Amino acid sequence: MELQHEVEQFLYRQAELLDTKQWQAWIDLFADDGVYWMPADPAHKHWDGVPSIFAEDKNLMNVRMKRVLHPDAWSQRPLWGTNHVVANVILEKISPEEIVARSRFHMMELRRDDVRHFAGAYRHHLKKTADGYRIKLQRVDMTNAQAAYEYVLQVWV
């Protein structure tokens, strides 16, 4: 139960960092070789070598963060915010090397006057370090990932 609670708290905090736009703190939750992956096709098993909506190591996460923080990132000018709810947390695997946790998310986004909803499943591969959990791989299977996008996704979901 304690482990379940720890992992849940970790996932909630990660989502909160997105909603509060604390990009660097969000990136810091990843292991040095960590990857954030949103497959283009739910059947894909590995992020390497296939089309992906996101397939970002920490360097690419840095590019994305620096871009949205740049004063001339025009698309970042308008009012824009998100609200994540994370639930249904299931510990799929518990071993000394890693914990694999499945969860469900629902994200509402407001941009100017437009509301969009994104929902789906997270699968976190976590490792325990002296500083707490670090993400080796976060897989995001978004239910509406294959639908046409009204505008684009600017940061991680």
Partner 1 sequence: MLHERVPGLSRRLSEFVEPDRVRREVYTDPAIFELEMQRIHERVWIYCGHESQVPKTGDYYAVQIGRQPMVMVRGADGKVNVLYNRCPHRGNMMVGDRQGSSGEFFRCSYHAWTFHHDGRLRSIPMMESGYSGTPYGKEHPDCSMKRAARVENYRGFVFASLAQDGPTLKEFLGESRIAFDDMCDRAPQGEVEIVPNCFRVIQKSNWKIFLENQLDALHPSVTHQSTGRAAHEVEKEIERQTGRAPLSYHMLSAFATVTIDKWDNFQTLNYPHGHCILTGYMGLRPKDPDTLAYEKTLVDAYGQKRMEEILGVNIHHVLIYPGLSVQSPLQQLRAVRPLGVDRTLTEIWHFRLKGAPEAIYRRSLAYYNLVNSPATLVNADDLENFWKCHQGLSSEGGDWVSFARHYGRDIQMGDRVETAANCGTSEAPMRNQMKAWARYMAAQ
At closest approach, how far in Å is the CB of 44 from partner 1? 9
At closest approach, how far in Å is the CB of 80 from partner 1? 11
CA distance 157 to 73: 19
Alpha-carbon separation of residue 101 from 23, 27, 75, 138, 152 (angstroms) = 22, 19, 33, 10, 27
Binding to partner 1 in span 19-78, by CB under 8 A: 38, 40-41, 49-55, 59-60, 62-68, 70-75, 77
Residue 25 or 68: the one with the smaller Cβ distance to partner 1 is: 68
H-helix or E-strand spanning residue 128: strand 114-129
Phi, psi of 150 (to 5 degrees): -80, 105
The residue with tokens 């946790």 is 101
Q: Are 156 and 26 in contact (CB under 8 A)?
A: yes
Residue 34 or 133: the one with the smaller Cβ distance to partner 1 is: 34
Write the DSSP assignment of 77-112 as a string of letters.
SS-EEEEEEEEEEEEEEE-SS-EEEEEEEEEEEEET
CA distance 120 to 133: 22
Contact call for residue 149 and partner 1 (CB under 8 A): yes
Residue 115 or 147: the one with the smaller Cβ distance to partner 1 is: 147
Q: Which of 79, 115, 130, 152 is in the footprint of partner 1 by CB under 8 A?
A: 152
Residue 15 or 100: the one with the smaller Cβ distance to partner 1 is: 15
Contact string (CB under 8 A) for partner 1, positions 108-147, x = contact: ---------------------------------------x
Binding site for partner 1 (CB under 8 A): 38, 40-41, 49-55, 59-60, 62-68, 70-75, 77, 147-154
